[in-house]
Structure 1
């Protein structure tokens, strides 16, 4: 049984499987598109995963995308065409929420520095003054999760399912305590971005799904990106838990802005290519630094993590749920990107391999 204290949601830690020998034939069908270095790297990072694990990988070099898919069957890595298959993308959803925030800002429906309380139907306990921007860049002072989302009392396989508007309102009015004053410190908060998504639905007078479709996915023709799972069931790759068994999908309920989106690498490639176009003003706004995490290397824009690397400046976000782990890395100047979606549980000790693979593939194409 998982120990509850280890289940800090959407962090790549947990329990996993013992590494086992895995045969490789996943170069078949790529006709030279995958390099020997990429092949070895993918094998190294994927060989410890369970049977029925899938990785869907998009590599964009100088604005030109290529897709690679692998699946483990009978302890063998095989190549698959899975760029149209759908996975939970977890916290990469936060970048979409930030994009919605930027779009509404450019329309004049809000100001990034507006206090969040301006748009909420409740009077917040102690009347904190965190802003919409601080919710997006994790400097609001809010904790990672609300105190009334109690892990010992929820279904760990779907922990947010019953956390609705009523519980959020009770927490904000009766239990809210900031970890520090707004604007002082970066403190990653699923609650903060989930609250931001909720606020945006109030400002726009529409559901999160309606905003997502109207403002992002329809303009970019991202036909498999949604928070409504029933729309993509025929494309959905089943998530696996820390023991390699099929696990339920997550329902984020009122905190959907923090991690509810499902998508494919085909769709996320369209989103990545849109990042390279400076005339997409709402997207460009999310790239601008809003808060320093470390003095020199790490910062955050709106949603996107910003990291200064020797290869150049990267934008990055990862994601994880009970059955999935994902990674999304961009170099805007060189128009390079690596996107990885997988059905590896974020609680698996091997989940870190996904972000490692993303970084190392990016280093290869930047070299």
Structure 2
């Protein structure tokens, strides 16, 4: 089954990337106040990145886009488009965008500081810091802990109260404005009474799932632990020491970008007090460059703690303090996060081993915007660093053999490049690219290898079944779909394909 990509397994060579980029670029290299140095990008790389940024706006995928590329402690900025359809002000690295769920990493960093100060322990039950009446924050003998919150395994619902249910049956555009009005009127003090009514969705510490409510709760808990408002804690532990402007309040209202939806119509702000700790912060590309620089340097003990993996999701990904810690094709790690509000989208990642980080801020929200920003970040990383040696060698050998024996080829490459790691989703996407190019036998070979090395993955078997069906191998395709459904009875699309094959 085709899924949203988590990271690129193989992109074209740098020559191929450059060839696909528009020649014109709207590039700004103005420097943030701190750090004071710009990166020494080559003219070729500067043109390539500028072209990607300019092309994103030219293709009407955002009204404005601001990108910060951090390398070796210095930053280069790229901007395109406008901050508002009304004022037509050119976007700069100083304009402020809503960063959505990336806000959760800021709140989690405050928690890391509290842990380092001995105020709280990671495995403390959160009820320890709440008034009586929160017996509901436990299930099957397991109470929600601070670790559960920052690893997204709290089992709390996504939103408390559920602001997306305030206008049932309303068209999406109307629902967004109704939700914004509801949040504008909802009192911050009303969160805990609403939280006391919820039922956990699962046993805590078991399954990752998105929850704004968990991070709102963390903000409340930190206020109770310190006896200070969240905005003060944010300023003390993150903004002032790392050189960021204020991410709350209206002090930079004149620099705030306007947000837009998929149809390029205006969207409401997402800055309500109850949502600050979860998704309500706003920063500029210059702010975020400073944030990533500190993350790359692990500048404080709290930052270092916040990057430690706490919950394994797969052989490729784990979760730290809200950061997803990913394993690259060279087996080294990088950390990433994305976020979206009613009208803005954000993606950022950083690679400590390469002292590289990137943030992309757009004032447009569609179903694909965050993923599109992620793909651009991957392309920029490839432009600057190239593909890992083992991955590039594997690609060359597989192309030369037309994927005739993927298992043997991978083993051959790993003898010279033992660090080579092939992520499930990346192999899956690679197979789909081959299928799209009508190289069906090659797609079968790659998908078959993925299913063989991951026999318990329902999605690997589903994809293999699809490739076999495309190659006319009905019997084996049926067997693969049956195995996929056995592993995941909820695989509805697999059931449809299986029934179709069996009826032929």
Coarse TM-score class (shorter-chain normalised): 0.7 to 0.9
Unaligned runs of 5+ in 2: 1-21, 30-41, 169-174, 387-504
Q: Give CA-to-partner distance per residue, 1:245-295, whole Å, 9 cap, x none.
A: 23221133323210111111111111111113345101111100010112x
Q: For 2:27 and 2:194, locate their aligned partners in 1 and report how far apart those are by CA, in whole Å.
A: 53
Alignment of 1:135-174 (within 5 A): 135-146=149-160, 148-153=162-167, 156-157=176-177, 158=180, 160-174=183-197
Residue in 2 that maps onto 1:226: 247
Q: Encode CA deviations 1:194-238: one digit per residue, 9 max, x unaligned.
A: 111111111111111101111111122212x3211x111121111
Taking the aligned partners of 1:326 and 1:303, their CA distance within structure 2 comes to 15
How many angstroms apart in 2 are the aligned matches of 1:331 and 1:313?
7
For residues 201 and 27 of structure 1, do their structure 2 counterparts lie closer, same or farther at Cα, with a shift above 3 Å needed? same
The alpha carbon displacement at 1:28 in A equals: 6.1
- Quote the Cα distance in structure 1 between the aligned partners of 2:299 and 2:349: 21
* 1:306-345 equivalence runs, <5 A: 306-311=325-330, 312-345=332-365
2:322 is paired with a residue whose SS is coil
Which of 83, 103, 115 pairs up with 1:105?
115
Q: 1:81 to 1:131 in 2, by over 3 A?
A: same
User: Pick from 329, 337, 358: which aligns with 2:377?
Assistant: 358
Q: Which residue of 2 aligns with 1:192?
A: 214
Q: Could you give the per-residue CA deviations for residues 60-84 of structure 1, whole angstroms, max 9, x where no partner exists? A: 12333111101169x9xx9956111
CA distance in 2, matches of 1:308, 1:343: 30
The correspondence for 2:46, drawn from 35, 46, 49, is 35
Alpha-carbon distance change, 25 to 40 in structure 1, aligned in 2, over 3 angstroms: closer
Distance 1:126 1:195, change over 3 A: closer
- Is 1:239–1:343's contact at 8 Å kept on the other side of the alignment? yes
Of stretches 95-104 and 301-310 in structure 1, the one that deviates more from structure 2 is: 301-310
TM-score by length of 1: 0.83
- Which fold has the larger relative contact order, with Cα–Cα distance below 8 Å and residues 6 or more apart in sequence? 1
More helix by share: 2
Q: Secondary structure at the match of 2:209?
A: coil
Query: Structure 1 residues 72 and 32, CA, compared in 2 at 3 Å: closer, same or farther?
Result: farther
> Is 1:203 the equivalent of 2:225?
yes
Q: CA deviation at 1:118?
A: 1.0
Equivalent position of 1:13 in the other structure: none
State how far apart, in whole Å, the 2-side matches of 1:279 and 1:348 are: 35
- Which secondary structure state, in structure 2, belongs to the residue aligned with residue 179 of structure 1? coil
Moved over 6 A (4+): none
Counterpart residue number, 1:14: none
Helix, strand or coil for the counterpart of 1:87?
strand
Q: Secondary structure at the match of 2:360?
A: strand
How many angstroms apart in 2 are the aligned matches of 1:149 and 1:81? 31
Alpha-carbon distance, 1:351 to partner: 4.6
1:87-106 correspondence runs (5 A): 87-106=97-116
Q: CA deviation at 1:147?
A: 5.5
Q: d(CA) in 2 for partners of 1:239 and 1:33?
A: 32
- 3-state SS, counterpart of residue 272 of structure 1: helix
Distance 1:150 1:221, change over 3 A: closer
SS of the residue 2:184 aligns to: coil
Between 59-68 and 257-266, report the one with greater CA deviation: 59-68
Larger deviation, residues 275-284 vs 331-340: 275-284
In the alignment, does 2:78 pair up with 1:55? Answer: no
Cα displacement (A) at 1:181: 0.5
Paired residues of 1:27 and 1:34 also in contact (CA < 8 A): no
Specify every segment of 5 or more residues in structure 1 that has no aligned partner in the other structure, as ranges.
Answer: 1-22
Contact 2:27 2:79 survives alignment (8 Å): no
Q: Check whether the contact 1:119–1:203 (CA below 8 A) recurs between aligned residues.
A: yes
* 1:315-337 per-position Cα deviation (integer Å, ceiling 9, x unaligned): 00111001100111100121101
More strand by share: 1
Give the secondary structure class of the aligned counterpart of 1:276. helix
Give CA-to-partner distance per residue, 1:33-68, whole Å, 9 cap, x none.
8534324433554433267x1111011123331111
Asked if the contact 2:345/2:369 (under 8 Å) is kept, the reply is no
CA contact (8 A) 2:110 2:237 kept: yes
Structure number with larger C-alpha Rg:
2
CA distance in 1, matches of 2:151, 2:354: 25
Tell me the TM-score normalised to structure 2 length. 0.62
**Residues 254-333 of structure 1 aligned to structure 2 (within 5 Å):** 254-294=274-314, 296-311=315-330, 312-333=332-353
Distance in 2, matches of 1:147 and 1:212, equals 24
Q: Distance in 2 between matches of 1:266 and 1:28?
A: 15
